[in-house]
């Protein structure tokens, strides 16, 4: 160590100590990494696919049942994840009339109308002038959508995250897109998929019924036990460096004991983000115990129960 003493805040000290304890558990388990890190983008190897749900979503888009879909659900249930999965799957599909799809994905929320319009144009690869206002940009986007449809048989799907602010302007733009009809068809040629909580959808219904009425709210399903178990299993395999050979029909969740995992899954109420946080906290408590030479680093029922009860108090507030 050098002689220079840096002043470290107690906060930093605390987190450094926590990290050391966690690292010693990771080492003890012979893992390569922390299994319960959060990722900003979904890591395909860690994804638990709810294939029936995803297929039904994609089917609604392909069959053109509705010009707008609202992916609804509580915080952390997987709305954004499914938005990205729809995008992945729709790009290789055609509808009954042989139309293909292109997508624009707007992942930033709280945009101003002009920013939103610009991102739409950029997402669909539509040229516009720097000085154009939002209506002019949306005009160009609209023209391009019609042209793509008529000349190249390509329908346009706009995926937009949590567009909770500046609703009026943005929604009028979205509606404009949803209303676009090719001259000869009665069918919408642009589909919008939005995400948000049910509170937000309710607000939408109150403020802009014309949009809410035309969009189909679809609830993202929560994890069942088998999904939660797979979620843990994948992350353990990932931590071991064995994710590429993950077998969905035969995997272990060790060092989680089965009944410990079950109680964590129950407490998460099937919400992946909560499950991850509960698992992470359980690992942290286990690592602490290991340091005191209690246990072998396994996440047992008692630990899972303590963590669940502790978390329950503020999970229910969300």
With binding defined as CB under 5 A, does residue 81 bind Mg ion?
no
Considering only residues 41 to 60 of the shown chain, the ones binding Mg ion according to CB under 5 A are none
The angle at the Cα of 50, spanning 71 to 90, to the nearest 5 degrees, equals 60
CB of 110 to Mg ion, least distance (A): 13
Comparing CB distances to ligand ATP, the nearer of 80 and 99 is: 80
CB of 13 to Mg ion, least distance (A): 33
Which of 73-81, 121-129, 228-236, 273-281 is the region at the interface with Mg ion (rule: CB under 5 A)?
73-81
Comparing CB distances to ligand ATP, the nearer of 47 and 154 is: 47
Comparing CB distances to ligand ATP, the nearer of 80 and 282 is: 80
CB of 71 to Mg ion, least distance (A): 9
Which of 74-82, 141-149, 242-250, 251-259 is the region at the interface with Mg ion (rule: CB under 5 A)?
74-82
As to burial, measured by CB atoms within 10 angstroms (0-12 exposed, 13-18 middle, 19+ buried), residue 303 is: buried
Comparing CB distances to Mg ion, the nearer of 80 and 140 is: 80
CB of 161 to Mg ion, least distance (A): 6
Residue 47 near which of ligand ATP, Mg ion, none (CB within 5-8 Å, type-dependent): ligand ATP
Residue 231 near which of ligand ATP, Mg ion, none (CB within 5-8 Å, type-dependent): ligand ATP
Residues within the interface to ligand ATP (CB under 6 A): 38-39, 42, 46-48, 73, 75-81, 162, 231, 272-273
Which of 78-86, 94-102, 276-284, 297-305 is the region at the interface with Mg ion (rule: CB under 5 A)?
78-86
CB of 159 to Mg ion, least distance (A): 11
DSSP per position, the chain: --SPPPP--HHHHHHHHHHHHHHHHHHHTT-SS-TT---SS--GGG----HHHHHHHHHHHHTT--SEEEEE-STTSSHHHHHHHHHHHHTT-B-TTS-EEEEEEE---S--HHHHHHHHHHHTT----TT--HHHHHHHHHHHHHHHHHHH-EEEEEEE----SSHHHHHHHHHHHHH-B-SS-SSBSEEEEEEE-HHHHHHHHHH-HHHHTTEEEEEPPPP-HHHHHHHHHHHHHHHHT-GGG--TTS---TTB-HHHHHHHHHHHTT-HHHHHHHHHHHHHHHHHHHHTT-SSS-B-HHHHHHHHHHHHHHHTT-
By CB under 5 A, name the one of 58, 74, 80, 299 that touches Mg ion. Answer: 80
CB of 178 to ligand ATP, least distance (A): 22
CB of 72 to Mg ion, least distance (A): 11
* Total residues in contact with Mg ion, by rule CB under 5 A: 2
Query: How far is Cα 294 from Cα 273, in angstroms, rounded to an integer?
Result: 28
Residue 73 near which of Mg ion, ligand ATP, none (CB within 5-8 Å, type-dependent): ligand ATP
Which of 77-85, 86-94, 99-107, 275-283 is the region at the interface with Mg ion (rule: CB under 5 A)?
77-85
Comparing CB distances to ligand ATP, the nearer of 176 and 246 is: 246
Cα-Cα-Cα-Cα dihedral sign, residues 277, 278, 283, 284: positive
Upstream peptide bond of 186 is cis (omega within 30 degrees of 0): no
Residues contributing to the site for Mg ion (CB under 5 A): 79-80
């Amino acid at each position: 160590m050098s002689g220079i003493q840096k002043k470290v805040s107690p906060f930093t000290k605390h987190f450094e100590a926590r990290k050391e304890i966690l690292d010693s558990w990771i080492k003890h388990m012979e893992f390569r990494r922390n299994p319960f890190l959060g990722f900003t983008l979904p890591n395909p190897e860690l994804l638990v696919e709810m294939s029936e749900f995803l297929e039904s979503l994609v089917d609604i888009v392909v069959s053109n049942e509705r010009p707008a879909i609202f992916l609804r659900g509580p915080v952390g249930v997987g709305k954004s994840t499914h938005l990205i999965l729809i995008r992945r799957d729709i790009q290789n599909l055609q509808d009954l009339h042989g139309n293909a799809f292109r997508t624009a994905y707007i992942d930033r929320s709280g945009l101003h109308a002009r920013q939103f319009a610009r991102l739409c144009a950029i997402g669909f690869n539509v040229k516009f002038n720097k000085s154009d206002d939002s209506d002019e940009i949306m005009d160009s986007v609209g023209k391009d959508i019609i042209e793509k449809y008529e000349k190249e048989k390509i329908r346009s799907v706009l995926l937009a995250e949590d567009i909770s602010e500046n609703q009026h302007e943005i929604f009028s733009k979205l509606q404009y897109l949803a209303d676009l009809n090719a001259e000869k068809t009665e069918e919408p040629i642009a589909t919008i998929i939005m995400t948000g909580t049910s509170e937000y959808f309710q607000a939408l219904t109150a403020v802009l019924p014309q949009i809410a009425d035309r969009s189909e709210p679809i609830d993202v399903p929560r994890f069942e036990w088998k999904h939660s178990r797979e979620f843990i299993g994948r992350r353990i395999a990932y931590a071991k460096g064995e994710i590429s050979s993950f077998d969905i029909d035969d995997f272990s969740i060790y060092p989680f004991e089965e009944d410990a995992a079950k109680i964590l899954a129950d407490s998460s109420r099937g919400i992946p983000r909560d499950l991850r946080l509960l698992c992470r906290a359980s690992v942290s408590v286990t690592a602490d115990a290991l340091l005191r030479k209690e246990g072998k680093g396994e996440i047992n029922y008692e630990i899972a129960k303590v963590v669940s009860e502790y978390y329950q108090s503020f999970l229910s507030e969300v």
